[in-house]
Amino acid sequence: MHGQKRAEYKARLLHPDTRAKLGSKAQQWNHLSEELLKQRRRLFSSPPPLSDIDTRGKANEGNAAAAAPSPEVLLALTEKMLSVNPDPSHLWNIRREMLVYLIQTAPPSAMNTTDDDQEGVDNDSSAKSSILDIEVELKLTAHCLQRNPKSYSAWFHRKWALVYFMNGSTSQQEHWTNMKSILQSELELCVQFLQLDERNFHCWNFRRFVVGLLGSSGGSDVTTTSENDGEVNNDDDEPTTTSAVDNFSGSWSAWMHQIEEEDKEVWMGPQISQNACRAVGMSTGSKDGSSDAIKSTTPLSKRELEKIIMNEWDFSTAKIQDNFSNGSAFHYRSKLLPLVLEFRSSGDSASSPSEAYEAISLARDEWDAILLDAIFTEPDDQTIWFYHRFIVTWARRNTVVVDGADAEVTEEFEGLLYDMVDSIQELIDVEKEDSFEGNTQDRHESKGAKCKWAYLGMHLVLSTLLEFKSNEVDDEDKIELRERTKECLDELMRIDPDRRERYQILESKLYR
Amino acid sequence: MAEASQDVYDVIICGTDLIQSILSSALSRAGKKVLHCDGNDWYGGFDAVLYGGGTLDLFVEQCMENQRQEDNKNAVADVSDGVLESETNFISILPKEKYASLRLHSQTILGQTNDKTTSADVVAKDDTVESKIEKLAIHNDAVDGEGGEDSSHASNNNLQAPAPSNSIDDDQVDGFSLDISPCLLYASGDAVEGMVKSGVSDYLEFKSVEGLFVLMAEDDSTKSTSRKVNRHRNKRGDTSEKVDDKTLNEKPLVSYRVPCSKADVFRSKLLSPVDKRRLMKFLQLITDYGMVMASQSTEVAADDDDTLNDNNNEEEIPSTSTNNNGDDAIQSVNERHLHRGRALSRPQNKATPSSSDMESLIRCVRDGVSFSDFLRTVVKLPDRLAVVVVYALALSPFGYNTNDANNGPMSDAMARVSKYSTKDGVEDLLLHVTALGRFGNTAFLTAMYGSGELSQAFCRSGAVYGSTYMLRRPPLRITFEKDSPRVSGVVLGGEGIAGFEDGLDQEILCEHVIVPSTMIDPSVVRNAVRTRTYRRISILRGKLVKAEREQNDTDNSSETEQRYAIIIPPGTRGLSNQSAIHVLAFDDSVCVSPRGKQYTVLHLTMTSPEDCDSHDVFDETLGKAVHHLIESQLSTNEEASSVEECHHVSFSFTSDSPNNITENSQTTGLHIAYRDTQSITCDSAFREAKRIFDKICPDADFLGLSKKVEDEIVYRNEEDSDDEKVVLDSAVTMIEAPLSTSTASQEEVKPTQDEQPIDNN
């Protein structure tokens, strides 16, 4: 679509032939929608006898009442319609409704034929999953997402299918292994989608979701020797997601609502954090209620978790290397940072520096390896400055340790901040200099090179330094810092008059 | 085909080099009656692709032949060689083995050498050539620094026997396709435009070049930043490796990815942060300049901004009004130039560049400031970075002058080629920069099976439009009308046609003759400057460039595929090359080496500013360059030690560039085609072809498709199947059919899954 004039595009659409074609398609679509809703209504107004034998019998012999709509037809219809237009969420809802309906009304006898591993197991959950053909749903959603990579409802359906499939079954090892390979291929799919559009936040979200599932999907029997108890005994200890599935009524909003009630975070990925913490043997602190939100069959070994996390870390690095103007990638990184820190600082017990120290050095790595190069490559890109802001505040938070400030940590953090000041100052100097004339004096601010973000970043670093030293007496250093901070704000007021008031407030705080 | 009738042709084209092939296709499209002849058995002339075990041997043999003749009757022949003789009214064309005074410098024999290959026979026949080549072979060994193990090779007095481990198996020899003049294409530029427009691209396949590198000595200034990092590492107790300054000099050269796009600059290990900023600003300024120039010539097609505007610069740029226009042009970039590469585009919150920067650039272009001075004093790039800009971004073989008096006075020729104005530099840069971000990681495409395929494709399309082709018929003379500067025809040699015994020469009449400068005696092309292009084709065992690890996550497929361009700037330590050396490395991913075998074909090209006799020096330099290239990869990867050169051929030929285009005003109908000196892309061939085309057909469309073909294509596109409709139709039939039973519906479900194109992943 790029590179063609809108007028041409419009003209093509308004061409009688095209219009006729589109018109006939629209008619077909409307006809299908009506028919679909009608059939669904009929299906539920006259529910088929719940006796299993009757249902199957009808299906097999095919001589039952012609009027009774079949869920299979509705399923096929939604598939066709959705592959043309993946957006209408009511179609997805109907699809899920039918899938669940079919599974719930299916006789247990059908289960034996579909899944031969489960003969011995006779509980509800095993009966449920065996009918959802995950491959069909994955294929359909993949096709829909190719058509529209930003279709909320298609992405959601994919998530739903994965979770439904994952939780529907027993906690048999084989199932988990199978699930793992599915999840791995989901990660591959994310790679492909992000290759096409590196800023597709739907896909980034989905990736975090998949990684979350992967993290709670249980360890493989090979490596989990120390952490697990050797036995798989979680039949009555289902993941919470199952309860959501149990009560699933087929509607998206109800689904989301339910999840919110239980634990919003489960869906955003922290389950892996939970697992990580448990495996590493650390307390997560704040999350008391949610700590048993997800219990996988077998907790992942620390090494496995580290592998997953570091793989994601490297992935975000690679994406940022491709194009650092990518808020999603930085956001992902910010979510991964605490986990990476855990792995880093839990190395050799005695000799390794404290976690706080490790946090600072991680922040420094981010500064050296990514931020510094990025701000010098394109200082007007907000994305990097936001990440810079995150890194500074995150590192600042990490300097506050339980047993008071560690002198070494403090020194290291200050060193990092001073390095930042130097580099940003250097950037401002290069930007400000009228490079072709060599003078920095009569530069017209209106003609580019305002460096607003550099000043903002500078202000952040300077004020963090000041805040850091707030307990010290006013020595020369501090006075100079304050002076520079004020200069920064003054400059910002000049080049960004729209936010003048904000800068004034910031300035007033300086001398408080 | 061989029936050269007595018809009068509109145009006779001599030689099937790329420029002539493009012209042949373009002129026949424009309705001209074209005769296209070549003395060789194959298409392509100096742009041909040679096949191991076939045309390669013929080519080498031809080189030998030429050399032998020259050595035997050295001073005798030169006098009589065709000068424009006004009484006889003709210009003679050189015999085909003398085109561009081709010379062979050194070679090893391709293939297992027990059976004597043809070229080996030639060597054996002639003592002088043999000894000369052998001497060079020794040189190369010494250069390789592995004289010890290879000394048997040198002392053997037998050129045919390279070390057995090095040789290529006989059955693999014919898997090699070696270009005489390999070239890339800008992913967006004259070449691609011409091929898309003409439909010739349908005959060809392309792949993207994976990386553009520059091979340089490591620099101290980059050390300083890493030291800064190290300081903190030390605090933590890590012991950082101390850099010993003395060993620095013996360190192998390092190949850096050339920072072209924003991502490249960001990733580059070559640049300090401040340099990154300066380079980005500069590159963005260049793109803006391109936009401004494009917007100022709205009457010209939008894509021709690079070449066509330049003549108008003086009149069209009053410096005051420019600024406003320029700003407007840049701010509306998104609307007007979305189809251009956006590898350097600014973030949306900052569309305006500094207009004072633009003013100074325009001033420098107008005042003819040298590009080196511009980069150094105005853009304030450090020397090292300026070198990268001139040689690896503008891709000029010459042109960066350090203001260093120590270098001593330059030779006249050197001074001439070193004239590289800001205008030239900016234009070359624009060609590169606008082609970025179009396809793959670099601005370049490469043709599968060798770039020689290009000329063949154009010849084929020429034949479709009615050009007459004659191979094995060398043009001998261009004749003129009596007492008139008007071309009357071309005499074709009859020899070489099988079964055509008397080999009668035949004069064929025409109005225009197109002949490359390389085919006629230098004395005829009076205004031209003659340079000599040195080439070395090396076949390496193993992959030269190792995959970068960070990249592996996103594209595994191209991990070890070798499609790289490497630039070695002039005066590189240990080489002291006068011009930049352009290196292209390809492997079986573009089918130039046997499939599945770990060979890399390496093309090295450099230019001597004058056609001098010190061939040995150049040959040696290229040999060293190969050595350095292999070594530079060694430092990053131990496996690279398995990479070794197992065959090479080294030769040189001349090319001419006109001093000013007002050529041969005393003749009409004679058009001399000049090949560009050492251009890494073949886009210049399209420009040269267009120049000549416009002279012959001033008002015609260059390389346009015929109406009929175009309609066909439009029709074809319209017939694209509408899968939405198919699916909807099937859904409608599903509910309309009496589907009361679920068995029937289940049958329906199956086929729908098949008919949907959803199994793509």
Q: What is the mean pLDDT of chain B?
A: 72
Q: What is the pLDDT of residues B54-101, one digit of tens each?
A: 777 777 777 777 777 666 654 443 434 444 444 557 778 887 777 777
Q: What is the mean pLDDT of chain A?
A: 73
Give the pLDDT band of residue A471 (cuts 50, 70, 90): confident
The answer to whether residues B743 and A60 touch, using CB atoms and an 8 Å cutoff, is: yes
Residues of A in contact with B748 (CB under 8 A): 73, 76
A262 touches chain B (CB under 8 A): no
A79 touches chain B (CB under 8 A): yes
State residue B322's pLDDT score: 39
Give the pLDDT band of residue B325 (cuts 50, 70, 90): very low
CA distance B495 to chain A (A): 54
Residue from the list B360, B748, B761 with its beta carbon closest to the beta carbon of A436: B360
- The structure tokens listed for B568 are 């070695």
Query: Which residue would you say has higher pLDDT here, B351 or A452?
Result: A452
Question: CA neighbours within 13 Å on the CB side: how many for A472?
Answer: 11
Least confident of A76-85, A397-406, B311-320: B311-320
Asked if A448 lies within 8 A of B757 by C-beta distance, the reply is no
State residue B616's pLDDT score: 83
State residue A305's pLDDT score: 81
Asked if B355 lies within 8 A of A447 by C-beta distance, the reply is yes
| pLDDT surpassing 60 at residue B187 | yes
Q: Which residue has the tokens 């499609």?
A: B563
Strands B206-208 and B177-179 come out as unpaired
Burial of A389 from C-beta contacts in 10 A (0-12 / 13-18 / 19+): middle
Q: What is the pLDDT of residues B211-270, one digit of tens each?
A: 899 998 877 554 444 444 444 444 444 433 444 444 445 677 888 888 888 888 888 888
State residue B27's pLDDT score: 93
Q: Mean pLDDT across the stretch B572-589?
A: 88
The answer to whether residues B686 and B135 touch, using CB atoms and an 8 Å cutoff, is: no
What ipTM, to 2 d.p.? 0.74
Q: Mean pLDDT across the stretch A197-213?
A: 88
| pLDDT surpassing 80 at residue B716 | no
| Phi, psi at A65, each rounded to 5° | -55, 130
Rounded to an integer, what distance in angstroms lies between the CA atom of residue A425 and that of residue B92?
A: 69
Asked if A436 lies within 8 A of B761 by C-beta distance, the reply is no
State residue A446's pLDDT score: 45
- The structure tokens listed for B70 are 């020259």
Rounded to an integer, what distance in angstroms lies between the CA atom of residue A36 and that of residue A40?
A: 6
CA distance B359 to chain A (A): 9
State residue B383's pLDDT score: 87
| pLDDT surpassing 90 at residue A210 | no
State residue A315's pLDDT score: 94
The answer to whether residues B37 and B12 touch, using CB atoms and an 8 Å cutoff, is: yes
Q: Please give the single-letter amino acid code of residue A41.
A: R
State residue B665's pLDDT score: 57
Q: What is the pLDDT of residues A352-389, one digit of tens each?
A: 567 788 889 999 999 999 999 999 998 888 899 999 99
The fourth-level CATH superfamily of domain B261-297+352-402+411-435 is: Guanine Nucleotide Dissociation Inhibitor, domain 1 (1.10.405.10)
Instruction: Please report the number of interchain residue pairs, chain A to chain B, with beta-carbon separation below 8 angstroms.
Output: 193
| pLDDT surpassing 80 at residue B404 | no
The answer to whether residues A149 and A203 touch, using CB atoms and an 8 Å cutoff, is: yes
Give the pLDDT band of residue B137 (cuts 50, 70, 90): very low
Q: Please give the single-letter amino acid code of residue A460.
A: L
Residue from the list A25, A139, A380 with its beta carbon closest to the beta carbon of B725: A25
Angle at A247 between CA A242 and CA A248, to 5 degrees: 90
Most confident of the following: A104-113, A222-231, B51-60, B621-630: B621-630
B276 touches chain A (CB under 8 A): yes
Residues 336-355 of A with CB under 8 A from B: 353
Query: Which residue would you say has higher pLDDT here, B348 or A450?
Result: A450
| Domain residue ranges of chain B, discontinuous segments joined by + | 261-297+352-402+411-435
CA distance B171 to chain A (A): 40
Residues of B in contact with A39 (CB under 8 A): 735
Least confident of A10-24, A152-166, A239-253, B199-213: A239-253
The answer to whether residues B524 and B534 touch, using CB atoms and an 8 Å cutoff, is: no
B553 touches chain A (CB under 8 A): yes
State residue A67's pLDDT score: 54
Least confident of A119-133, A331-345, A413-427, B6-20: A119-133
Least confident of A102-116, A246-260, B157-171, B430-444: A246-260
Asked if B273 lies within 8 A of A68 by C-beta distance, the reply is no
Residue from the list A70, A136, A381 with its beta carbon closest to the beta carbon of B745: A70
Q: Which of A387, A370, A368, A366 is nearest to A321 (CA)?
A: A370
- The structure tokens listed for B159 are 């050129």
Rounded to an integer, what distance in angstroms lies between the CA atom of residue B168 and that of residue B539?
A: 9
Residue from the list B274, B731, B758 with its beta carbon closest to the beta carbon of A140: B758
Nearest residue in A to B235, CA atom:
A412
Rounded to an integer, what distance in angstroms lies between the CA atom of residue B593 and that of residue B176?
A: 4
The 3-state secondary structure of B159-222, one letter per residue: CCCCCHHHCCCHHHHCCCEEECCCCEEECCCHHHHHHHHHCHHHHCCEEECCEEEEEECCCHHH
Least confident of A120-129, B281-290, B367-376: A120-129
Residues of A in contact with B749 (CB under 8 A): 72, 75-76, 79
Most confident of the following: A56-65, B136-145, B170-179, B231-240: B170-179
Give the pLDDT band of residue B362 (cuts 50, 70, 90): confident
Q: Which residues contact B382 (CB under 8 A, 6 or more apart)?
A: B221, B275
Residues of B in contact with A351 (CB under 8 A): none
Residues of A in contact with B549 (CB under 8 A): none
| Domain residue ranges of chain A, discontinuous segments joined by + | 7-112+125-130, 157-311, 345-510
Least confident of A414-423, A486-495, B19-28, B75-84: B75-84
Question: CA neighbours within 13 Å on the CB side: how many for B188?
Answer: 22
Q: What is the pLDDT of residues A35-90, one digit of tens each?
A: 899 888 888 886 555 544 444 444 444 444 445 678 888 888 999 999 999 999 99
Query: Residues of chain A with pLDDT > 90: what percent?
Result: 27
